[in-house]
Every structure is written in structure tokens, then in C-alpha cells.
């Protein structure tokens, strides 16, 4: 099942049109420079306990923000 998630904000500090760094919400100093959001979902691996299987599996997605450029 689902075991957790992380979210980072993609910031374009040099106003190039693309995110070059990903930071937590508390580290954003200028919200107008946020271009994307990176979300990582963590799931318990159903194969956990089997040889070579990790305890969890991550799925990461980057979502581009529209109208914030």
C-alpha cells in the first residue's frame, strides 16, 4: 500500500523558463519563480522480504505549472 509522499518545488532562479533546482516550500524565496512541482509517492513493495527486493518502491512525477513563466 501507500506509505508516504514528498513534494518539492521546481524553481527557475535565473528566469530561463525551466526549473533548475528543487526545494521545499519553506525554502522558496520568490513564488513567481516556481515553474514545476516534483511529487514522489512511496509504496510498500509487495515483494518485500524476497531476495533482492527493496522494502519500498518510489514513483516520481514532475508537473509543469501553466501560466507561471
Closest CA to 10 of 21, 24, 26: 21
Residue 68 binned pLDDT confidence (cut-offs 50, 70, 90) = low
Quote the pTM value.
Answer: 0.81
Mean predicted lDDT score pLDDT of the chain: 94
| pLDDT tens digits for range 4-27 | 999 999 999 998 988 999 999 999
The answer to whether the beta carbons of residues 41 and 2 sit under 8 Å apart is yes
Amino acid at each position: 500500500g501507500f506509505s508516504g509522499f514528498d513534494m518539492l518545488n521546481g524553481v527557475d532562479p535565473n528566469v530561463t523558463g525551466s526549473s533548475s533546482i528543487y526545494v521545499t516550500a519553506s525554502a522558496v524565496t520568490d513564488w513567481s519563480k516556481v515553474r514545476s512541482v516534483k511529487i514522489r509517492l512511496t509504496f510498500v513493495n509487495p515483494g518485500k522480504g524476497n531476495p533482492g527486493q527493496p522494502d519500498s518502491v518510489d514513483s516520481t512525477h514532475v508537473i509543469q505549472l501553466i501560466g507561471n513563466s
